Structure 1
Amino acid sequence: MTAIENFPLIPRDHLFGNPTRAQGKISPDGTWLSWLAPLDGVLNIWIAPVGDADAAKAITNSTDRPIRDHFWAPDGNSVGYIQDKGGDENFLLYRIDIATGDEICLTPFDNTRVMIVGASDTILDEVLVGLNNRDPQFHDVHRLNLNSGKMELIYENNAYAGFLADDSLTLRMAMAQNEAGGTDYFRFAEGAVEATPFESTDMEDALTTSPSGYTVDGSILYWLDSRGRDTAALFAQDTQSGQRTLIAENDKADIGGTIRDQKTGEVQAYSANYLKTQWTAIDPDLKASLDWLGTQLDGEYGLMSRTDDDQTWIVWNDPLTAPIATYIYDRSAGTLSPFYVTRPELDGAPLQSMHPVEITSRDGLTLPSYLTLPVGSDAEASGKPAAPVPMVLLVHGGPWARDGYGFNSTHQMLANRGYAVLSVNFRGSTGFGKGFLNAANKQWGLTMHDDLIDAVQWAVNEGIAIADKVAIMGGSYGGYATLAGLTFTPETFACGVDIVGPSNLETLLSTIPPYWAPLVKTFHERMGNPETSEGLALLKAASPLHKADQITKPLLIAQGANDPRVKQSESDQIVGAMKQAGIPVTYVLYPDEGHGFAKPANSIAFFGVAENFLAECIGGRAEPLGDVLEPSTAEIIEGADHVKGLKAALER
């Protein structure tokens, strides 16, 4: 085994700082390139004429919170983005005029969250937006002119969780949760919602069945549908006759994304993601382009943006052991030109491969998982270290989400510090069929947690992990899993890192954002209904807060003060309980963050604290804290003494 000391520490800011560039796109007419890049240290939107990168200029001037997404208006006259305040997730819509540079907020309302209801390939200057400024629970639908800012109320909503429109920006469908915890789908007729749904799901299909949009002429409605089967398949439904045609299916994974013809809206390609994402092209010309890209690029690649004539694509490429790169692909000329490298500072860094693995749970489920080994531990490239190593079990959020294959900054940092990193798609993770998903119903802290314990045991049995040097770490549900790990199975883990994780499922459900209220039955049916004695008992039993006195191993907690999903009180409660029981805990609060870290300085500061915390617990190496806290807003509420260098960093 090659000594880890022979490999350099990858600086935290190379992994968690601002990218040099990100999210490259091309205007619909192919004349402009756009991307995100720092301006005075904050991510903003930049543009440049195609072929003249030296003329690049920033068109936004955010000085505090980074802009993390942007899009071109269909007519190419403007660029838009959404932004909240301090992580409160009340996103508003902003527009920048390309000709004048003027920026305006198109939805200037307080305590409002905008959502895009519909866009069009033929009506290029308007979209449908949902706004909950009248009633925080429900989004009213408005028709918005992206150039003038004029907004017209189309539908006042007092009942529905979502809508679907066609290319003419006509509302065609409304969705509402039904008593079974599934979804009812209602047609619009003459601007009103019909009384009887034309399609329905029960709870077991609710998260694996959904409409996927109309063709441009409105004659076909696509569905991703698991009804009568396990994995979600892609169907085309004739909107006049109701007849369905099966387009695509996969026996191990749900059909996921699609690529559509921009003129007709017909599906040209579809993807399924089991251990890796696989695209299958239906359209021969598109297949030829994807196949050609596969001969030019190593690792994973995909389509980010395309012109209206479909002759120019912006393509991303993830080689996994080199920084992600983005290219401009001219389909007519058959050329692939470099656009940018997202993190060029990682070029030549000792990045580690990610290994897809399948782990069997104690009751026979296959858990698709991802393993990254410590730098220098696997000189034979066998996918197994020469000797067992400390390990971090990194648990994804959701829980109705999933881990995937590809470059992962947290995996890379932890592997560089000397740890194996294991991410497990436990039952309840999405993308693997409804049986796998529904196996988690009302299993928080039970079989969902057993899957994580089984994965740790697998890693120990396989000679990957040292049994008494395993940490658990994660955000949101992963934070909950961390707290559950240290309370329900304290002998399994040496320590834990909880990021915005709920500690009390009863209070979690009582404080959900108002716009989640139309979907609350999902939580009740899948977690436990606090309005019933049985459900309340289930939630209490699964809440780490009530077993806080069982914690015996070091715990680091990070929380955003403005988190609308997992309120600060979730972390405050368990920290208070641990203090009352005389149990040490380190608690880091970010007053300008929400459900996770948006600001790089805060992310860098947190991972600085976390890697030094882990080094003391399970023996890896760490970049010293130094002055990492100074640019951040981190407040150390409790336990500065429990992390090496943290007290000194506070005194700088």
Structure 2
Amino acid sequence: MPTSTRVCLLLLAVAACDAPPAKDAPKVATIQAKRVEPAGTADAPPADTGRPPDSKSDVPPVIVPGGPAEDSVVSMPDSLTAENIPPIPRAIADGVGTYSEARSALALEWHPKDHSLLIRTRFADTDQVHEVKMAGGDRRQLTFFSDRVGGATYPPVGDGGFFVLSKDIGGNEFAQNWRFDRADGKLTLLTDGASKNSLGPWTRAGDRFAYTSTRRNKKDTDFYVVDPRDPSSDKLVAEVEGGGWSPQDFSADGNQLLALEYVSVNESYLWLFDLATGERTKLTEKTGDVPVAWSGASFTADGKGVITTTDGKGEFRELVTLDLASKQTSPLGPPVQWDVDSFAVSHDRKKLASVVNEGGIDRLRLHDLPSGRERPIKTRLPAGTIGGLNFHPDGKLLAFTLSSARSPADTYVLDVQSGVIERWTESEVGTLNPATFSEPELVTWKSFDGREIPGFYYKPPARFTGKRPVVVIVHGGPEGQSQTGFIGRNNYYLNELGVALLYPNVRGSTGYGKTYVRLDNGAQREDSVKDLGAALDWIASRPDLDAERVMIMGGSYGGYMTLAASVHFADRIRCAVDIVGISNFVTFLENTEAYRRDLRRAEYGDERDPELRKKLLEISPLTRAAEIKKPLFVIQGKNDPRVPASEAHQIVATLKQGGTPVWYLEGKDEGHGFQKKRNQDYQMYATILFMKKFLLDGMSE
């Protein structure tokens, strides 16, 4: 299924799609490079900027005829449908308690004049836009939709009388842009109401912003420019081919637009569009036979260069300046031996903030421009994931979001001059003591070819003695990464059930160099599945872990990995949970939304080629579904544009015919992973029941 897309520690276990700070299309003052792929291209849950699962709702009891007595079971929301899931005892919901009460607060955008900040958090069922004016200040809710808001952006100048927000319906990811007037809350639609649209950068004058839309043919992400004050000003400025385009930055005069063309995690290009003449110039090319990845782009102060990241000269993405005349790059700042995952440039182009991904732990850095000299940051941050970098238009403050093992994603603010960081929000974890949450241990194991595979291992509390059962949680992407962010409700499995958690970063994961990312391409696809087999060997070698009680769980591409593990390691696992997973690569490629199809073919192969089609069918779990003998729980959103619900339907139907125990849960108002709190809650309760029945030997309540 983040981007990122680097993907933070996968919370699909219970929340289906909670991932680290989403990279909505970058703005002038926030040029993001964390997710090299545009939103909606990778097979990962919707990038959600690292937020933990939403909290538990009060679900009324229901009388099940001929079954448990009133008040003894949890009722299923009308928004869900289920097959073969037994009545869920009320004791499970009661036992979960405040583990489902955690929430987060993600930095979105500064007000152009004062120092108030738009954040995204949840007071009810979905994430909405709120405003906070100081560290520890009240969160004032501004939007009240039934569906979550994806992002919000102010123009960089003006009185802050409006902002533009992005929102879809029922998780379909066909987001529309709206102008939200602060005075009266009036909403004005800025897009066509039907296509997929992005948020994008503003001109420096704040009179227009650029965005992409598929409205022309539902496939290509063309460029549009609009003044939100006058929706009739909306103008198509460039038709492009492909679904991987995103606007990055405007020139000082607003007449040129930097853009990124994403082909795959390994290959992307920077372009310059002249909006007055229609001329387009390709700024970057392949280096020999090896494709190069570029991510993020911002004009330098003099307009003669572009600040960006690239892996063109090494294994990792580094900050560079690209000279527009010579097309040559020069390093920006001191070298680092890890990926620069994201960066943001201040409005005056004098400061740059970056995030370096050090093996799954993010480090914040601050630089002067144009020298690249690093400035000191005096406040020490906990190990975790960082995203949502956003400079205030005056350049004095930098907002960002931090998620760590013992804290949900929260908004922090760095004073650029002093180097001091303040925590502006402190999100709740119910009545739990976050100091009791397990912190991850970085572990490695050798795979079939001798390559070391990294992962993060969470131990249950010491009071759980003996060999502990294990849940292996596989991230999506495949160009994603499990990192050291907040694992939310998954702490329940550790603290209350005594289940150990292992988050592997199998080959194909980002964060370990471009060679590692490519190791699962083409005919090597199942080598990543072998890495899971090696993880099972590692579990068997541990005296504290029970190799006889292992469950595999993953979402989207991680769902494919879960199904593949159920085929290949049926004799080594107890059960599996597949969330919005790919069951057949051919039908997936044929049915995923048109704007994604070619992007996914670049990763998996083109099903229209007879030889590739044969290979894709050969490695598809559906082809070998008869070998899946252990119980499977399948979870799917009806409106999923990435991995269509048909992928779930066909694996469920096939397993039922073969007599394999299979549970199925579908969200009528959900897409690529459950986003609504009531649905997340029920998914968690059902997952716990499934675990107790099949992993924990019928553990009683």
Indicate whether the TM-score tops 0.5: yes
Assess, with a 3 A threshold, how the Cα gap between structure 1 residues 188 and 300 changes in structure 2: closer, same or farther: closer
- 8 Å contact 2:579–2:634 — kept in the other structure? yes
Per-residue deviation at 1:412?
Answer: 1.8
Q: Which residue of 1 aligns with 2:433?
A: 348
Q: Which residue of 1 aligns with 2:679?
A: 602
Q: Which residue of 1 aligns with 2:28?
A: none
Q: Which residue of 1 aligns with 2:7?
A: none
Q: Which residue of 2 aligns with 1:393?
A: 472
- 8 Å contact 1:182–1:203 — kept in the other structure? no
How far apart are the structure 2 equivalents of 1:400 and 1:412? 25
The equivalences for 1:222-621 within 5 A come to 222-247=307-332, 252-264=337-349, 267-283=352-368, 291-294=377-380, 297-300=381-384, 304-314=389-399, 316-318=401-403, 320-323=405-408, 325-327=410-412, 339-349=424-434, 350-376=436-462, 387-416=466-495, 417-443=497-523, 446-517=526-597, 520=598, 522-619=599-696
Q: Which residue of 1 aligns with 2:70?
A: none
- 8 Å contact 1:180–1:202 — kept in the other structure? no
2:152 equivalent among 48, 51, 70: 70
Per-residue deviation at 1:155?
Answer: 2.1
Assess, with a 3 A threshold, how the Cα gap between structure 1 residues 25 and 268 changes in structure 2: closer, same or farther: closer
- 8 Å contact 1:42–1:66 — kept in the other structure? yes
How far apart are the structure 2 equivalents of 1:9 and 1:371? 26
- 8 Å contact 1:252–1:274 — kept in the other structure? no
Assess, with a 3 A threshold, how the Cα gap between structure 1 residues 584 and 361 changes in structure 2: closer, same or farther: same
Q: Which residue of 1 aligns with 2:35?
A: none
Assess, with a 3 A threshold, how the Cα gap between structure 1 residues 290 and 204 changes in structure 2: closer, same or farther: farther
Per-residue deviation at 1:377?
Answer: 5.5
For 2:194, what is the secondary structure of its paired residue?
Answer: coil
Q: Structure 2: which 5+ residue stretches go unaligned?
A: 1-91
Paired letter, 1:468 = E
- Deviating more after overlay: 325-334 vs 471-480: 325-334
- 8 Å contact 2:347–2:391 — kept in the other structure? no
- Deviating more after overlay: 239-248 vs 537-546: 239-248
- Deviating more after overlay: 270-279 vs 200-209: 200-209
How far apart are the structure 2 equivalents of 1:298 and 1:179? 32
- Deviating more after overlay: 528-537 vs 416-425: 528-537
- 8 Å contact 2:607–2:613 — kept in the other structure? yes
- Deviating more after overlay: 412-421 vs 437-446: 437-446
How far apart are the structure 2 equivalents of 1:249 and 1:10? 52
Are 2:186 and 1:98 equivalent residues in the alignment? no
- Deviating more after overlay: 320-329 vs 141-150: 320-329
Paired letter, 2:637 = G
- 8 Å contact 1:495–1:554 — kept in the other structure? yes
Assess, with a 3 A threshold, how the Cα gap between structure 1 residues 621 and 402 changes in structure 2: closer, same or farther: farther
More helix by share: 1
Provide, for residues 408-461 of structure 1, a one-character-per-residue CA deviation record: whole Å limited to 9, x for no partner.
125423222211111111111112211101111125652010111112211221
- 8 Å contact 1:359–1:366 — kept in the other structure? yes
Per-residue deviation at 1:131?
Answer: 1.8
Q: Which residue of 2 aligns with 1:119?
A: 202
Q: Which residue of 1 aligns with 2:16?
A: none
For 1:493, what is the secondary structure of its paired residue?
Answer: coil
Are 2:166 and 1:82 equivalent residues in the alignment? yes
Paired letter, 1:367 = I
For 2:198, what is the secondary structure of its paired residue?
Answer: strand
Assess, with a 3 A threshold, how the Cα gap between structure 1 residues 94 and 532 changes in structure 2: closer, same or farther: same
Paired letter, 1:146 = P
How far apart are the structure 2 equivalents of 1:334 and 1:282? 11
Per-residue deviation at 1:78?
Answer: 2.0
- Deviating more after overlay: 346-355 vs 128-137: 346-355
1:134 equivalent among 216, 237, 243: 216
- Deviating more after overlay: 283-292 vs 493-502: 283-292
Per-residue deviation at 1:369?
Answer: 1.2
TM-score computed with the length of structure 1 as normaliser: 0.82
Per-residue deviation at 1:182?
Answer: 4.7
- Deviating more after overlay: 87-96 vs 13-22: 13-22
Paired letter, 2:450 = G
The equivalences for 1:152-163 within 5 A come to 152-160=234-242, 161-162=244-245
Assess, with a 3 A threshold, how the Cα gap between structure 1 residues 443 and 608 changes in structure 2: closer, same or farther: farther
For 1:212, what is the secondary structure of its paired residue?
Answer: strand
How far apart are the structure 2 equivalents of 1:336 and 1:198? 37
Per-residue deviation at 1:272?
Answer: 3.3
- 8 Å contact 2:377–2:419 — kept in the other structure? no
The equivalences for 1:143-158 within 5 A come to 143-158=225-240
Aligned length: 600
Q: Which residue of 2 aligns with 1:27?
A: 111
- 8 Å contact 1:16–1:600 — kept in the other structure? no
Paired letter, 2:174 = N
Assess, with a 3 A threshold, how the Cα gap between structure 1 residues 180 and 483 changes in structure 2: closer, same or farther: closer
Paired letter, 2:554 = G
Per-residue deviation at 1:375?
Answer: 2.6
Q: Which residue of 1 aligns with 2:36?
A: none
Percent same amino acid at aligned positions?
A: 22
- 8 Å contact 1:483–1:544 — kept in the other structure? yes
For 1:364, what is the secondary structure of its paired residue?
Answer: coil
Q: Which residue of 2 aligns with 1:630?
A: none
Are 2:274 and 1:200 equivalent residues in the alignment? no
For 1:123, what is the secondary structure of its paired residue?
Answer: coil
When Rg is computed on C-alpha atoms for both structures, the one with the higher figure is 1
Per-residue deviation at 1:179?
Answer: 13
Assess, with a 3 A threshold, how the Cα gap between structure 1 residues 531 and 334 changes in structure 2: closer, same or farther: closer
Provide, for residues 569-622 of structure 1, a one-character-per-residue CA deviation record: whole Å limited to 9, x for no partner.
101111111122122211111111110011011111101101111122221898
Paired letter, 1:403 = S
How far apart are the structure 2 equivalents of 1:483 and 1:204? 34
How far apart are the structure 2 equivalents of 1:504 and 1:336? 48
TM-score computed with the length of structure 2 as normaliser: 0.77
- Deviating more after overlay: 405-414 vs 263-272: 263-272
How far apart are the structure 2 equivalents of 1:280 and 1:217? 23
How far apart are the structure 2 equivalents of 1:304 and 1:544? 39
Q: Structure 1: which 5+ residue stretches go unaligned?
A: 1-7, 379-385, 625-652
Per-residue deviation at 1:234?
Answer: 2.2
Q: Which residue of 2 aligns with 1:382?
A: none
Paired letter, 2:427 = T
For 2:477, what is the secondary structure of its paired residue?
Answer: coil
Per-residue deviation at 1:467?
Answer: 1.1
How far apart are the structure 2 equivalents of 1:207 and 1:133? 30
Paired letter, 1:353 = E
Assess, with a 3 A threshold, how the Cα gap between structure 1 residues 116 and 203 changes in structure 2: closer, same or farther: farther
- Deviating more after overlay: 578-587 vs 174-183: 174-183
- 8 Å contact 2:283–2:327 — kept in the other structure? no
